[in-house]
Amino acid sequence: MTWKRTRYAGWGRALWADGELARPERQRDLPALATEGPAIGNRRSYGDAALVSGGRASDLTRLDRILGFDEETGILHVEAGATLGDIARLFAPRGWLPPVMPGTGFATVGGAIAMDVHGKNHHGAGSFGQHVTEIELLGPDGPRTLTPEDPLFRATMGGLGQTGILSSAKIALKRAKGDVMMVTERRAPDWYSHLSLLDRSEATYVVGWIDATATGEALGRGVVEEGETGPGLVPRPKTARRVPLDAPGAALAPPVVKAFNALYYRRVPKSGRTVVRPIETFFFPLDKIRDWNRLYGRRGFHQFQCVVPIGAADALRAMLERVAKSGLASPLAVLKRMGPGRAGPMSFPMEGYTLAVDFPNRLQAARLIETLEAMTEEAGGRLYLAKDALAGPERVRGMYPEHADWLDEVTKADPEGRYVTDLVRRLKLREAA
């Protein structure tokens, strides 16, 4: 296997690594690679979850084959490098969808498992790992087939790639009524109406875009989208446009963001509306702009994402007030209601509300994020490690009370620490409390 010295980054482009990458094309290459270091995918985690500075990692994106599908049960057997967007594109016309889809179709199956991703249907469907029925995992001592009854299986769901190299998985796809989305959009004029719309929704898929620049009585205003699959014909999305170079700092200056957010809010009539959209447009709206992370300029960006318990909604409102007054937010801010579903001890979800906001990589933003992290901790919430790039080990350890159980399984599976990534090292997750 050829190793190539590479400088590479997470999606936020604020953190980088220099290391060696291999790109295997066949399953037979994996046993040897499992003795060298962890696996990575399309690196859509925003921080350093998929970075291995000074070490080796295996890029599994070429291992993206469909290995089998049961039309009656919807069980899909697929290699770890397959993307959720490709699975949706291939199987939606046949009446099936990935059970859970995050905000990008470029997330791989392996990455979705390593981060136990959630989507717009978390309140009803839970997290991705809860729909995985079997995995093939390679460690330094060889392959293992695991099912949900095995403690190592659970440690792998949301396990940050620390239990071994995932070569393939069996996933229970979800029935779809068609390969288009019926989307109802409603304005939420303020924070409390926004939460009310999320709480009252009975739709399968629900998400709130929030104007993170609005203050005063308009604090928390936004647009709530409810979606259901259905039959129909709509034009397929045009070929994605590419951002060819890093944008100048003025591209997301506060007046520009504030004006854009006001227009985006008002694009939906006061009475609301229902539209028909392609599946890709609803689930992966930013994928139509390739390399959109370059809009933040050469220094990249950070995303802060937390979840707090239902009873701590006022704490989340206080966080949003800080963000709005800072003038640092971008147009990308999302509010969702989450259910209790989580598949592993290091999985992010808890029942409550999750807020995600992007910030350009500046010193003022880092200081604000530190404040928001402290507010999250005080509210009894937790940070999403797929998005984090700035937190410290003391704060994160307390947010994941099952860490010791996870560490026990990881230590047995990888006693020599071959799969440690930059995120795991930064947060000292492989160290006992």
- Please, are residues 302 and 254 in contact by the beta-carbon 8 Å criterion? no
Contacts of 228 (CB under 8 A, 6+ apart): 177, 181, 182, 203, 204, 205
Q: What distance separates the 2 farthest-apart alpha carbons in the chain?
A: 61
From the list 99, 226, 68, 283, the residue with the least C-alpha distance to 175 is 99
Domains contained in the chain, CATH given: 66-176 (3.30.465.10), 180-396 (3.40.462.10)
The whole-number mean pLDDT for each consecutive block of 10 residues of the chain, a chain of 433 residues, reads 95 98 97 97 97 98 98 98 97 96 98 98 98 97 96 98 98 95 98 98 98 97 97 75 85 91 96 95 94 95 98 98 95 96 98 97 97 98 98 95 97 97 98 88
From the list 412, 381, 366, 372, the residue with the least C-alpha distance to 311 is 381
Question: How many CA atoms does the CB half-sphere of 82 hold within 13 Å?
Answer: 23
Strands 165-172, 132-139: parallel, antiparallel or unpaired by DSSP?
antiparallel
Reduced to 3 states, what is the DSSP secondary structure of residue 133?
A: strand
pLDDT at 5: 97
**CA-only gyration radius of the chain, Å:** 21
pLDDT at 179: 87
pLDDT at 125: 98
State whether the Cα torsion 368-46-252-195 is positive or negative.
negative
Reduced to 3 states, what is the DSSP secondary structure of residue 118?
A: coil
pLDDT at 245: 85
Residue identified by tokens 């899909």 is 76
CA 433 to CA 431: how far, in whole Å? 6
Reduced to 3 states, what is the DSSP secondary structure of residue 45?
A: coil
- Encoding tokens for residue 234? 């709509």
Question: How many CA atoms does the CB half-sphere of 351 hold within 13 Å?
Answer: 7
Strands 132-139, 142-146: parallel, antiparallel or unpaired by DSSP?
antiparallel
- Encoding tokens for residue 260? 């854009």
pLDDT at 331: 93
CA 320 to CA 335: how far, in whole Å? 10
From the list 429, 391, 341, 314, the residue with the least C-alpha distance to 99 is 341
CA 341 to CA 349: how far, in whole Å? 7
The one-letter amino acid code at 163 reads T
Strands 180-188, 66-69: parallel, antiparallel or unpaired by DSSP?
unpaired
pLDDT at 99: 98
Strands 75-79, 96-97: parallel, antiparallel or unpaired by DSSP?
unpaired
pLDDT at 240: 78
